[in-house]
Amino acid sequence: MFALHGTALGGGIVIGRARVLEAQGLDAKRYRIEIPEIDAELKRLDMALFQVRESFEKLRTQLPVDMPSEANAMLEVHGMILDDPMMIEGAKRLIADERWNAEWAFADQAEQLAAQFDALDDEYMRERSRDIRQVAGRVLKSLKLQLSAPGNDPQLALDNDLGDAAIVVAPDISPADMLNLKSALGFVIDLGGTTSHTAILARSMGVPSIVGLGKASDLIDDDDWLILDGDAGIVLVAPDEAVLGQYRERQQEQQLEQQKLRRLIHIPSRTLDGIDVKLMANIELPSEAAQAREAGAQGIGLFRSEFLFLNRTDLPGEEEQFEAYREALQGMHGFEVTIRTLDVGADKTLPDAATHVAPNPALGQRAIRFCLAQPEMFLEQLRALLRASPYGSLRILIPMLAHQHEIDQTLKMVERAKEQLRERGEKFVEDVPIGGMVEVPAAALSIGLFARRLDFLSIGTNDLVQYTLAIDRGDAQVAHLYDPFHPAVLELVAMTIRGGQKQGKSVSVCGEMAGDPAATRLLLGMGLTEFSMHPVSLLKVKREILLSDVSLLSARVQRLLGSDDPIKVESALRRLRESA
């Protein structure tokens, strides 16, 4: 028996046999075709694109009614990639002008597009390269099947059903393939992180899953017995009977725990000493609002608007954005929806944007810096947001603020957008709250200024940790140094909460720390009363809240914050978590 460790996506414990899938890379044979063969080769590519498109559509129409909304959304995103003119037209030019075969031409263009995303600093944006490679791999598979099995049903040819229930082990797997693998007990995946579409879908489906395992598909043999602990991020390979027995008992205990958690959905989120705590959800697509409501969310604390701008060669217009924002607002039935303005870097990720590639994108023109440098694009998004405001309770959140002049310029842009709408006779809510994300130490250290100028604050702990500790957790060589409980990080979080409270402004945490039950009592003791997280974490955090007494936690947390010794802080945190 041996153990493998990766990034946990939840779902609990599952025990079963391994089914190892082959890698589906972008390797393709490269050869020249003759001039008379060009038309036939172009038709082969068109047919492959058609077959994959049809497979997506057929899969979408066959989704069960209880399938989470993310499933349809991911298929839509992959459909957008499939229609990317830059990738498709580039491949066709290589076929027609350079006389390369369809497989190599398409693989070359797909890899070039994916490489642009690989170069980005932002983890969420980097993960989009996997989406591109997953879709391209499906096209290459279709091209291969045209030659080896002509006339086959494209959906059947592209499916990967397992037959018997098993734990799927793969170098990578696309959302479409994940949906096709109906009998999968769980997923063990070499690549990826928590922001990949595969990870998002796996969490929403509640399937035990682990990503980022490295070489699991090489180390695990087909038909090996596996114990997959999706909460701990551990895979035990070829366990003995004693270990199997232990985990079967733990599996039953977890199933009972899940049943108990579901009873908490309609119970008010209130501490033992009567403090109401607002639990909200983070979403990426408008359709996810329904899932958030079903999980008991009291609003949307973070709606990432980037999804509208990704994997396309044209910028979304004002009307398209308006429709998406309106859908999210209407989907929450009056609950508050906080929509973050575009948060990308300046690395050619968007069409018509600056072509300058920053030497260090993390410290370059990203988020609000990028938006202020693209005023027409920013105004278009602000107008779309304001137009959607009458359809619900909207808050607009500005990412990566660090300077007062950025706040001032942003507020002027909001006023300009309002004036443009007034001139057009468009309706909007005049007093839409404008908030700022605290993601860099400078913002936390200047929190008094930020709290005075803005209507609310939201702490993005993921970036705050990375910028405070100078750690890119996407870099495997230093990821082990990423520590959200580092004393310096905790002091910045506490400082922000205190600063907001002093000015009477609401403060929420929308980073991963908000969804970590191990951090719930710590944040409550700091005075936090608004949490925003992935919907699957809501009930576990709510349970911690229901068992907490803030009047007792506050003094203990203040003592904890008074120490700069990491060992003492870790010990105090452990005692805090264990307290009833």
CATH code for position 115: 1.10.274.10
Does 449 lie in the same domain as 375? yes
CA 489 to the chain's CA centroid: 22
- C-alpha span between 288 and 298 (Å, rounded): 14
CA–CA gap between residue 342 and residue 99 (Å, rounded): 40
Given a cut of 90, whether residue 118 has pLDDT beyond it is no
Give the pLDDT score at 547: 94
Over the stretch 530-562, which tens digit does the pLDDT of each residue have?
Answer: 999 988 889 999 999 999 999 999 999 999 999
Q: pLDDT tens, 288-342?
A: 888 788 889 999 999 999 878 865 667 889 999 999 999 999 999 999 999 999 9
Grade residue 146 by pLDDT with cuts at 50, 70 and 90.
confident
Q: Alpha-carbon distance 135 to 484, whole Å?
A: 34
Asked whether residue 485 falls in the same domain as residue 350, the answer is yes
Q: What mean pLDDT is predicted for residues 53-74? A: 70
Last residue of a domain, one of 262, 297, 332: 262
Considering the candidates 197, 371, 486, 534, report the single residue annotated as catalytic: 197
Same domain, 275 and 415: yes
264: pLDDT strictly greater than 50: yes
Q: How many domains does the chain have?
A: 3
Average pLDDT over residues 17-38: 81
pLDDT of residue 154: 45
Range from 10-24, 513-527, 562-576 that averages highest in pLDDT: 513-527
- Residue 274 DSSP label: S
For residue range 88-113, list pLDDT tens digits in order. 888 999 999 989 999 889 888 888 88
**Average pLDDT for the chain:** 86
Let me know whether 87 and 138 are in one domain. yes
Confidence bin at 85 (pLDDT 50/70/90): confident
Which entry of 371, 486, 510, 534 is annotated as an active-site residue?
510
pLDDT of residue 161: 52
- Is there a contact between 440 and 400 (Cβ–Cβ < 8 Å)? yes
407 lies in the same domain as 477: yes
What is the rounded distance in angstroms from the CA atom of residue 316 to the CA atom of residue 308? 7
Q: How large is the average pLDDT for residues 417-441?
A: 97
Euclidean distance between the first and the last CA atom of the chain, given in angstroms as a whole number:
36
- What confidence tier does 124 reach under pLDDT thresholds 50, 70, 90? low
Q: Which of 159-163, 172-176, 251-255, 426-430 has the highest mean pLDDT?
A: 426-430
Q: Residue 483: which of 473, 497, 474 has the closest Cα?
A: 473
| One domain for residues 190 and 74 | no
DSSP secondary structure string, 156-224? HHH----SS-EEEEES---HHHHHH-TTEEEEEESS--TTSHHHHHHHHHT--EEE--SSHHHHSPTT-
pLDDT of residue 269: 96
**Domain residue limits at 239:** 1-21+160-262
**Residues facing 241 on adjacent strands:** none
Instruction: Please tell me the predicted confidence (pLDDT) of residue 459.
Output: 97
Helix (H) and strand (E) counts for the chain? 23, 16
Which segment, 39-43, 78-82, 206-210, is predicted with the most confidence on average? 39-43
Side by side, which strands form the sheet with 225-229? 2-5, 234-237, 225-229, 13-20, 166-170, 184-189, 209-211, 7-8
Report the pLDDT value the prediction gives residue 232, as an integer from 0 to 100.
87
User: What whole-number percentage of the chain has pLDDT above 90?
Assistant: 50
Q: How far apart are CA 405 and CA 385, in angstroms?
A: 22
pTM score above 0.75 = no
Query: Quick check: 95 and 41 in contact, CB under 8 A?
Result: yes
Task: List, for residues 193-244, the tens digit of each pLDDT value.
Answer: 666 667 777 777 778 999 888 889 999 998 899 999 998 899 999 999 999 9
* pLDDT confidence of residue 73: 67
The yes-or-no answer on residue 78 being catalytic is no
CATH of the domain at 337: 3.20.20.60
Mean pLDDT of 263-285: 94
Question: What amino acid is encoded at 488 in this protein?
Answer: A
pLDDT of residue 177: 77
Please tell me the predicted confidence (pLDDT) of residue 353: 47
568 versus 388: the higher-pLDDT residue is 388
Q: How far apart are CA 251 and CA 339, in angstroms?
A: 38
* Domain stops at, among 229, 262, 295: 262
* pLDDT score, position 312: 61
> Which has more confidence, 359 or 376?
376
Same structural domain, 296 and 173: no
**In CATH, what number is assigned to the domain containing residue 215?**
3.50.30.10
Of these ranges, 16-25, 35-44, 405-414, the one predicted with the greatest mean pLDDT is: 405-414
Same domain, yes or no: 255 and 269: no
- CA–CA gap between residue 225 and residue 202 (Å, rounded): 21
Please check whether residues 141 and 196 belong to one and the same domain.
no
In the prediction, which pLDDT does 157 show? 45
- The stretch 107-127 carries a mean pLDDT of 76
Does one domain contain both 395 and 409?
Answer: yes
Q: Give the end of a domain, one of 126, 159, 192.
A: 159
Spell out the residues 6+ positions from residue 458 whose beta carbon is closer than 8 angstroms to its own.
301, 302, 338, 397, 435, 436, 437, 438, 507, 508, 509, 510, 532
Long-range contacts of 47-52 (CB under 8 A, 24+ apart): 47/142, 47/146, 48/102, 48/106, 48/139, 48/140, 48/142, 48/143, 48/146, 49/82, 49/88, 49/139, 51/142, 51/154, 51/157, 51/158, 52/82, 52/135, 52/138, 52/139, 52/142, 52/154, 52/158
Label the pairing between strands 299-304 and 209-211. Answer: unpaired
3-state secondary structure of 329: helix
3-class DSSP state of 356: coil
Q: How confident is the model at residue 522 (pLDDT cuts 50, 70, 90)?
A: very high
- 388 pLDDT tier (thresholds 50, 70, 90): very high
Choose between 174 and 215: higher pLDDT.
215
- Give the pLDDT of residue 539: 92
Q: Is 197 a known active-site residue?
A: yes
Q: Can you tell me the distance from the alpha carbon of 429 to that of 333, in angstroms, rounded to the nearest whole number?
A: 17
Which band of pLDDT confidence, cut at 50, 70 and 90, is reported for residue 521? very high
pLDDT at 351 over 60: no
DSSP assigned state of 252: H
Q: Both 480 and 572 in a single domain? A: yes
- DSSP of 92-129: HHHHHHS-B-HHHHHHHHHHHHHHHHHT-S-HHHHHHH
> Does residue 331 share a domain with residue 228?
no
Please tell me the predicted confidence (pLDDT) of residue 23.
Answer: 66
**Across-strand partners of 551?**
none
